[in-house]
Amino acid sequence: MKFYITTPIYYVNDIPHIGHSYTTIAADIMARWKRLNNFDVYFLTGTDEHGAKIAEAAKAKDKKPQELCDEMSTKFREAWKLLNISNDDFIRTTEQRHFIAVENIVQTLFDKGLIFKKKYEGMYCIGCERFFAKKDLDENGCCPFHKTKPILQSEENYFFKLSSFQDALLERITDVNHKEYIDIQPEERRNEIVGKLKLGLEDVSFSRSAIEWGIPLPFDKSQTVYVWVDALINYITAVGYPSDEPKFKKYCPTDVHLMAKDILWFHSVIWPAILMGAQLPLPKTIYSHGFFTLNGNKMSKSLGNVISPQELVENYGVDAARYLAVTLIPFGPDGDISWQGLTLKYNTDLANNLGNLISRTLKMTEKNFNLKIPQAVLNLELVKNVEKNLKETFAYNMDNLQLHKAAESLQDAITLVNVQIETDAPWKLAKTDKNKLAICIYSYLQAIDIIAMHLFSFMPSIAEKIWQITGASGNITDVAKKYFTNGMLPKDGFSVSGADLQIPGILFPRIF
Ligand SMILES: [Zn+2]
């Protein structure tokens, strides 16, 4: 089975911040989870590099647009490397493979009579790279997002017959039994899209005449492809359209397009219409998450309260930064984050709950068994309870991108073992019943191993480290792939009797 997941390609007029990180970490967690479940995963991210905004920014810095794009695109690659993102591909819209794909698809739509020339006059916001209808501007006649006055522009452009796709889109978005059903998530936003679709669709501009920093239309080189259209096409370029048919057949359609809510319309209406026009497979799920505020304030460059991936990592370490970023607020709706909130969650979930479980288990083994995993039978009940907790909720929530809930069930499983330790009171058993103590410790270790395998998608390096600390045998991902397929504990357990444990130092130092 294959699984193709994408983040949006990020516009290079901005440096990577927590918004980009949030989407990318979520996609990475999903990709890693699917790989552990034996899917052949293709995980794509990249940068969007054309348009007037880039050309202007480059000019202001006395650079060539390509030079600026190279610099900025590198910053995104570096950020994803820092956050241990496991993307299989990183696409840039200035790459040759993308030019070929864009030319090909635009020509196909033109040949099918879906693109036509029309004179257009409208209010254009450079910040948004789009035209606004008068009714969509604010009371001062300004762009509602940038609060700047758009410029009146009159152009003869090529338009795409979006209006002719209204019924076809409605069917595919609302009928779950349609063979090309597009599942737009969360439901409230799907309803908004459906509501807007029912009001009717206008044809959209597909090209610009005055903007040189773009991909020329193959049938009229005096115009370039509208940057939004150019950007959307990246999703098929990366999987081999139009030249690598085996790759394209293997990974298309897209299983999940992930993005923030502000670009949901482009992905759930314009993009499927383009694909339908070119008779290409439609995405299966389009998932948009909310915006977040920091301490109740909108994050913006001008307010100087933008959180960078570097800051997150400096404060919590890579793995904890990944975990905290996607679990602090529910995935989907808008939410508010704060440094206090992040630190509190770090201390509660990681330092106290998980960190404590591991350190007390190690200490007991050190004290009573000289850091060797004791020979014992398994407390099957404990392991079954941990598994039950994870099986019922974790997988379901992961598959539905409810990452905060999946993390909750992980925490519940950790708590369950911590509570079991309180009940068993191994410090008493050490004096009265060494055999029973051995059973306890051996069983805690197996439970920790199961927890580590589930934690892996969120915190890959820490999960691997835990795997080593507990003396578990084999490579964590290889073992997890088997375990997630057959659901069976190896005969001798993951951590095998006689193996040595390691004292790692403090995994999650408490943060004050
Ligand atoms: Zn704007």
| Given the residues 69, 143, 252, 440, the one annotated as active site | 143
| Ligand 1 centroid – CA 143 distance (Å) | 5
Predicted confidence (pLDDT) per residue in 93-140, tens digit? 999 999 999 999 999 999 999 999 998 888 888 888 888 888 889 999
Look at residue 395 and tell me if it is in a domain: yes
| Ligand 1 centroid – CA 227 distance (Å) | 15
CATH of the domain at 460: 1.10.730.10
Q: What is the mean pLDDT of the chain?
A: 95
Region 292-300 average pLDDT: 85
| Given the residues 128, 372, 391, 436, the one annotated as active site | 128
Look at residue 45 and tell me if it is in a domain: no
Q: How confident is the model at residue 456 (pLDDT cuts 50, 70, 90)?
A: very high
The torsion angles phi and psi of 11, rounded to 5 degrees, stand at -75, 130
Structural domain that includes position 461: 338-486
Return the structure tokens found at 444.
């805690």
Predicted confidence (pLDDT) per residue in 320-365, tens digit? 999 999 999 998 899 999 999 999 999 999 999 999 999 999 999 9
Look at residue 417 and tell me if it is in a domain: yes
Is 252 an annotated catalytic residue?
no
Distance CA 14, CA 68 (A): 11
Q: How confident is the model at residue 441 (pLDDT cuts 50, 70, 90)?
A: very high
Q: DSSP per residue over 60-86, as a string?
A: HTT--HHHHHHHHHHHHHHHHHHTT--
Cross-strand partners of 131: 124
Look at residue 171 and tell me if it is in a domain: no
pLDDT at residue 300 in the model: 74
Radius of gyration over alpha carbons of the chain, in Å? 26
Return the structure tokens found at 418.
């911590």
pLDDT at residue 428 in the model: 96
pLDDT at residue 146 in the model: 87
| Given the residues 298, 367, 434, 482, the one annotated as active site | 298
Look at residue 258 and tell me if it is in a domain: no
Q: Examine the pLDDT at 303 and tell me if it is beyond 80.
A: no
Is 298 an annotated catalytic residue?
yes
Q: What are the Cα distances from residue 96, in Å, to 101, 215, 216, 281? A: 9, 10, 13, 23
Q: Check: CB of residue 293 under 8 Å from CB of residue 264.
A: no
Q: Examine the pLDDT at 392 and tell me if it is beyond 90.
A: no
Name the amino acid, one letter, at 103. Answer: E
Report which of 291, 148, 115, 122 is spatially closest to residue 219, judged by C-alpha positions: 115
Is 289 an annotated catalytic residue?
no
Cβ-in-10-Å burial (0-12, 13-18, 19+) of 335 comes to middle
The number of folded domains in the chain is 1
Is 69 an annotated catalytic residue?
no
Report which of 412, 293, 394 is spatially closest to residue 348, judged by C-alpha positions: 412
Is 250 an annotated catalytic residue?
no
Q: How confident is the model at residue 279 (pLDDT cuts 50, 70, 90)?
A: very high
The torsion angles phi and psi of 225, rounded to 5 degrees, stand at -65, 135
| Ligand 1 centroid – CA 130 distance (Å) | 8
The torsion angles phi and psi of 498, rounded to 5 degrees, stand at 95, -20
| Ligand 1 centroid – CA 127 distance (Å) | 4
Is 284 an annotated catalytic residue?
no
pLDDT at residue 503 in the model: 87
| Given the residues 69, 125, 252, 440, the one annotated as active site | 125
Distance CA 190, CA 175 (A): 12
Is 125 an annotated catalytic residue?
yes
Q: What is the dihedral of CA 275, 77, 217, 110, to 10 degrees?
A: 0
Q: How confident is the model at residue 404 (pLDDT cuts 50, 70, 90)?
A: very high
| Ligand 1 centroid – CA 222 distance (Å) | 25
Q: What are the Cα distances from residue 92, in Å, to 14, 41, 492? A: 15, 20, 48
CA atoms within 13 A on the CB side of 13: 16
| Ligand 1 centroid – CA 150 distance (Å) | 8
- Of residues 190 and 392, more confidently modeled: 190
Distance CA 18, CA 338 (A): 12
| Ligand 1 centroid – CA 147 distance (Å) | 7
Look at residue 388 and tell me if it is in a domain: yes
Look at residue 317 and tell me if it is in a domain: no
Look at residue 381 and tell me if it is in a domain: yes
Is 257 an annotated catalytic residue?
no
